[in-house]
Amino acid sequence: MQNDTVKSSAVTVDAYIDGLPEDRRPVVKKLRALLKRRVPKGYREAMGYGLICYSIPLERFPDTYNGQPLCYAALASQKGHLSLYLMCAYGDAALRKKLEDGFRKAGKKLNMGKSCIRFRSLDELPLDVIGDIVSAVPPEKYLEIYARSRAHTAKARKARAAQRDS
């Protein structure tokens, strides 16, 4: 996440939204409603990392790299913008391309880091494309993507260690 991340101490999603500046509440509420409709069953909405997160619960998958629920998507109000984190687009090149193409076709500029789309208003987002992306990866597929990513990371670490030791 960027340096201007504003973490909330809110314990519930409703408390998080209630604590937002008045001009941001309707934007977050509308995007949250979209996410709740389109995120596949099996992900749970909760506060995590000071953000509204849609994650695979620890009861379902406890073997995460950081001991936290495996985040799939998240929504946050930052200091100078709003952020939508789409881990599924970060972990899947085809989904990332679909997201980029969807923004381009809609005539919108994609302001995105690794997984974070930064925006100031809903007008900057093609909501149909966002909905299609978040609905594309059921938890079972996301766990496969996560397992491949962790295996790739472990392999790369081993290679770096072997190179250092030689």
Position 147 pLDDT exceeds 60: yes
Give the domains, in start order, of the chain with CATH numbers.
13-165 (3.90.1150.200)
Q: What pLDDT is stored for residue 109 in this prediction?
A: 97
Nearest to 124 by CA among 35, 38, 7, 31: 31
Tens of pLDDT, residue by residue over 78-129, are 989 999 999 989 888 899 999 999 999 999 999 999 999 999 999 999 999 9
Q: What is the mean pLDDT of residues 8-32?
A: 94
Q: Is 99 helix (H, G, I), strand (E, B) or coil?
A: helix
Q: How many Å apart are CA 116 and CA 86, to the nearest integer?
A: 6
pTM beyond 0.75: yes
50's torsion region: left (phi>0), alpha (psi -120 to 50) or beta?
left
pLDDT tens for 1-18 read 333 445 678 899 999 999
